[in-house]
A and B are shown apart, each in its own frame.
Chain A
Amino acid sequence: MDFKNIAWDGISFDAPSNFEVSGIDKRFLQLDNGEQPCIELRWYDAGRTYKEKTYFRQLAKKIESASGLKIESTVLPASWKTPLKKYNTTAFYWQSDLDTGRGVMFYCKNSSKVMLIQFIGKCDEQIDNAAVTLFNSLKFHNPEADQLWSIYDMKATLPGSMTLESFEFKPGRFNISLTDQTETIDLYRFSPADVILKDCTLGEFSRKLFKEEIKNLGLSRAELEYEKGSTCMYGQEKEPSTARLALSKISSKSRPYGQIEVRYTEESNRILAVMVRSRRQIAEDRAKNIFKQYEIIQ
């Protein structure tokens, strides 16, 4: 069985390559096997005062009131014991008229996170293999190191201090927005590029796409060829106004400095874009450096 890596909002794991993310939110993922949902993961910050029994009781109560399902604790399946031996686990199961599921709840001390994973439907060999691989490969992000984001065909490594602000996965348009105290990074991916660029140039497309940002940040454009595709870069020739700089010192949300780079890659038939907004002056090669670790998985 082939596996692929999925990294999202502080965790990463391997899942069978025929499984696809069908539900996504902050600290939540749902995977399906093409037919129906089969794995769900949810994780929370639990702090240092995690109490397993209290947490499970609260969870069971919450689920029961929301869906009417009764969650029962059970013995951890034998095949899950080895990959989960480093955690204190609580296994559970539920059954409804239509479906059945089993899962596990555990606490990661290093990241102070509680993880809930459930497997929906009959536990066949495929699901059991997926479960063991998931548990073996599951990693919690270390905030001091760079963080991997690998979702659908987007893969990027960004500073670990950055947290997920918003995201959008619509056919043809993907966007992930990450932020920290000083900087906001937006990753974009558009497809199919050949259709998008049939009646307009990359410059025209990007100018329309970032119309507001170009206006608000006072960005000017440079267009150039890059390897097999082409690139458009937007930067600031002038310093932001004194008023905008003063505002950025008062408000943490204000980001007067900006930089955008848009690339068309013929090989993947995608348009990728990186937008950086910051409270501080941005290094000339900031977007370019982000692009070094931002790619399309094919």
Chain B
Amino acid sequence: MKLFSNNKGIVIPEMTRGEAMACKPLKNRDITENRKDDGLVMLSYPLRLKPLFADVAKKFGMWKDGNPPIKRLELDEMGTLVWDMIDGKNSVRKIAAGFAKKYQVLPREAEVATASFLRDLGKRGLIAFSNNKNGTK
């Protein structure tokens, strides 16, 4: 608790930092993973649209054979390393430690970078997180 903070109001986190770092990311089975010649990963995944936008997309012919439009995401070297470590068994902490070791960055720096990247993948629906305490989220 930031007792000496100038910010008013208390924000109570849903889980502690330690609990968040212990979560295990899982890949979405609906995504297609292609490895390019340089070893980098290209992800193809169905675009998640709200019903209103989905109707518009259908009218404009973006919906092909009843399937939503496919979006592609090209990962860089560091993204590919993190992606390859996602297997449902490695926790965020373990992935960050692997990242820190490979790139000689500070453990905390790797944790922040990895968590931010995983959060972004989660927002796109490419991964989910499993929490041993509460079951899959």
Interface residues of A (CB under 8 A from B): 20, 22-23, 28, 30, 32, 34-37, 40, 42, 63, 66-69, 94, 96, 98-99, 101, 103, 116, 118, 120, 152-153, 171-172, 191-192, 194-195, 198, 268-269
Contact = CB atoms under 8 A, between A and B. Distances in A.
A172 B109 contact: yes
Contact of A192 (B2, B4, B104, B112): B104
Interface string B83-117: 00000000000000000000111111110110010
Contacts of B5: 66
B64 interface: no
Given A35-B18, A36-B18, A42 B4 contact: yes
Could you tell me the dominant secondary structure of chain A's interface residues? Answer: mixed
Interface string B1-45: 111111111101000111001000000000000000000000000
B4 A116 contact: yes
Contacts of B109: 152, 171-172, 191
B48 to A, nearest CB: 27
A55 to B, nearest CB: 13
B34 to A, nearest CB: 22
A94 B2 CA distance: 12
A195 B103 contact: yes
A191 to B, nearest CB: 5
Contacts of B18: 34-36
A9 B112 CA distance: 24
A195 B77 contact: yes
Given A66-B8, A191-B109, A37 B103 contact: no
Given A195-B77, A195-B103, A28 B4 contact: yes
A96 B2 CA distance: 13
A193 B18 CA distance: 29
A153 B1 contact: no
Contacts of B9: 66-67
Interface residues of B, number: 28
B110 to A, nearest CB: 8
Nearest to A20: B108
B105 A37 contact: no
A118 B3 contact: yes
Nearest to A40: B4
B78 interface: yes
A99 B16 CA distance: 12
Given A34-B18, A268-B104, A269-B104, A94 B113 contact: no
Contacts of A36: 16-18
Complex A-B, nearest 7 residue pairs according to Cβ-Cβ distance, in ascending order: A35-B18, A171-B113, A192-B103, A42-B4, A269-B104, A20-B108, A171-B109
User: Which one of B2, B8, B17, B110 has the greatest number of beta carbons of chain A within 10 Å?
Assistant: B2
A101 B3 contact: yes
A210 to B, nearest CB: 23
User: Which one of B77, B103, B110, B116 has the greatest number of beta carbons of chain A within 10 Å?
Assistant: B103
Contacts of B16: 35-36
Contacts of B105: 171-172, 191-192, 269
User: Which one of A67, A68, A101 has the greatest number of beta carbons of chain B within 10 Å?
Assistant: A67
Given A171-B112, A269-B103, 13 more contacts: A20-B108, A30-B2, A34-B21, A35-B17, A67-B10, A98-B1, A103-B3, A116-B4, A120-B1, A171-B110, A171-B113, A194-B103, A195-B103
A184 to B, nearest CB: 26
Nearest to B100: A192
B1 A101 contact: yes
A96 B16 CA distance: 17
B23 to A, nearest CB: 14
Given A171-B109, A195-B78, A67 B3 contact: yes
Nearest to A43: B4
